[in-house]
Amino acid sequence: MIPVFALYLIGFLILQDFFLWILLKSNFKSYKGNMEGDWPDISILIPCRNEENNLPSCLEALEELNYPKEKLQVVLGNDQSTDQTHSILQHWVEKRPWATVIKIDSGDLRKMNGKANALSQMVKETKGEVLLFTDADCQVPVYWAKKMVEGWKTSGADLVTGITNVKGSVLFEKMQAMDWWLTLGMVKVVDDLDFSLTAMGNNMLISKKAYFEVGGFEGIPFSLTEDFEIGRQILKKGFRGIHLVSEDNLVKTNGQDNFTALLRQRKRWMSGAMTLPGIWKLVLGLQVLFFPAMIFFFFLYPFEGLLIWLLKVVMQSIFIYNFALKSGERLKILDLMLYEIYYLITSWSTIVYYFWAAKTDWKGREY
């Protein structure tokens, strides 16, 4: 009975990767439109907490942003930093009338996490018709703002989630990048079937209408993943959300420096995933069960087990490779093969760490 269940589970997940690839090829929505001369006023929000090492590259990317400066506002928030963050921000905005920096008050962190608290205060300073969000450890491409606005206008959606990936050349960073490609690829396929699941705060657009309709960050339930939660509340109100994937809105972010930091990040993400509907929790659970099922089957039928495992890796790699191509990225075959080992280790380690009796740390704050 158990071998039969294991085989069914393995077969289901291999078919899942196959259909993900088919849907990616046949049902990919790009949301292109003609926006020449019709750009709305926008406000870009970037909360900063102890980001002195990341700000130079982040601000340089903002400087290169192709968007009419008379329609652009950048709001930078210094969230009680203890390093040189505020002086860097203050110096940068002095010669840029379209940018401003504000100091974030502590607020009531029992009702909002630190980042949600910062963003709620920053929104009050905005003038744009739409709000764009990214992080201080990210670099946006030149046409990022235009592409996100184009997706918003073309689709009629009030929530646009972009595409983000980890930059870096060392193996640990490249494996994290594979993780992002796989996860966001699945999100994109599901979203293009009109089942929006999530939002991502380092690459996100929200219309002001939708933002204030849900009460802003101060009006949503407390969550360690405030981007996920506000996206969920916007969709719950009946607004439409889309996932926009292209080379022009591919944001690059820093990877985690070590395995402990990675587990902390994954623990925060899992807290958001646990608010998904039951069917999606089941799908995520089946992903994790693949490995024990595969190992069990492998010990009973070594040769057949090896062939089936290779088939799964090949199907998964084809999907990841083709999804990355949608953003103009070409992945190396060796990295795709190595990712399976990384995925096995991190997925099970994340589950153990999630249930470990320890608080979640985010930039020196514990929850």
Least confident of 196-205, 295-304, 352-361: 352-361
**CATH number of the domain bearing residue 136:** 3.90.550.10
Q: Are residues 88 and 173 in the same domain?
A: yes
Residue 11: CA atoms inside 13 Å, Cβ hemisphere, count? 7
Confidence (pLDDT) at 108: 64
Overall domain count for the chain: 2
Confidence (pLDDT) at 274: 72
83 token code pair: 């390093």
Q: Are residues 207 and 280 in the same domain?
A: no
Confidence (pLDDT) at 1: 56
Query: Quick check: 95 pLDDT over 70?
Result: yes
Q: Is residue 33 part of a domain?
A: no
SS3 label, residue 79? coil
Q: Are residues 22 and 76 in the same domain?
A: no
Q: Are residues 152 and 123 in the same domain?
A: yes
CA distances from 92 to 55, 99, 120, 143, 359 (A): 10, 9, 23, 21, 35
Q: Averaged over 118-128, what is the pLDDT? A: 96
Q: What is the pLDDT of residues 315-333, one digit of tens each?
A: 999 999 999 999 999 999 9
158 pLDDT tier (thresholds 50, 70, 90) = very high
Confidence (pLDDT) at 291: 80
Residue-by-residue DSSP string for 19-44:
HHHHHHHHS--------TT-PPPEEE
Return d(Cα 158, Cα 200) in angstroms, integer: 14
Q: Are residues 172 and 223 in the same domain?
A: yes
Query: Quick check: 192 pLDDT over 80?
Result: yes
Q: Where are the alpha helices (DSSP H) in the chain?
A: 2-26, 55-63, 85-93, 114-123, 144-155, 171-191, 208-213, 226-236, 259-273, 278-300, 302-325, 333-354
Return d(Cα 253, Cα 39) in angstroms, integer: 26
Contact (CB, 8 A) for 240 and 156:
yes
Q: Quote the domain boundaries for residue 340.
A: 2-27+262-356
Q: Is residue 181 part of a domain?
A: yes
Q: Identify residue 196 by its one-letter amino acid code.
A: S
Return d(Cα 191, Cα 195) in angstroms, integer: 5
What count of other Cβ atoms lies within 10 Å of the Cβ of residue 116?
26
Q: Are residues 281 and 223 in the same domain?
A: no
Q: Are residues 150 and 77 in the same domain?
A: yes
141 pLDDT tier (thresholds 50, 70, 90) = very high
178 pLDDT tier (thresholds 50, 70, 90) = very high
Q: Is residue 362 part of a domain?
A: no
| Percent of the chain residues topping a pLDDT of 90 | 68
Q: What is the pLDDT of residues 10-44, one digit of tens each?
A: 888 889 899 999 999 999 999 988 777 789 999 99
Q: Are residues 116 and 226 in the same domain?
A: yes
Q: What is the mean pLDDT of the chain?
A: 90
Confidence (pLDDT) at 135: 97
Contact (CB, 8 A) for 367 and 113:
yes
- Residue 277 burial by Cβ neighbours in a 10 Å radius (0-12, 13-18, 19+): exposed
Confidence (pLDDT) at 279: 67
Confidence (pLDDT) at 2: 58
Confidence (pLDDT) at 302: 86
Q: Is residue 202 part of a domain?
A: yes
Confidence (pLDDT) at 9: 80
- Chain centroid to Cα 100, Å, comes to 26
Q: Are residues 142 and 51 in the same domain?
A: yes
Q: Identify residue 165 by its one-letter amino acid code.
A: N
Q: Of 257, 291, 308, which marks where a domain is finished?
A: 257
CA distances from 363 to 39, 51, 144 (A): 35, 10, 26
Q: Report, in this order, helix, strand and coil percent for the chain, each rounded to 5.
A: 55, 15, 35
Q: What is the pLDDT of residues 43-62, one digit of tens each?
A: 999 999 999 999 999 999 99
Query: Quick check: 100 pLDDT over 80?
Result: yes
pTM recorded for the entire structure: 0.91
| Structure letter (DSSP) for residue 116 | H
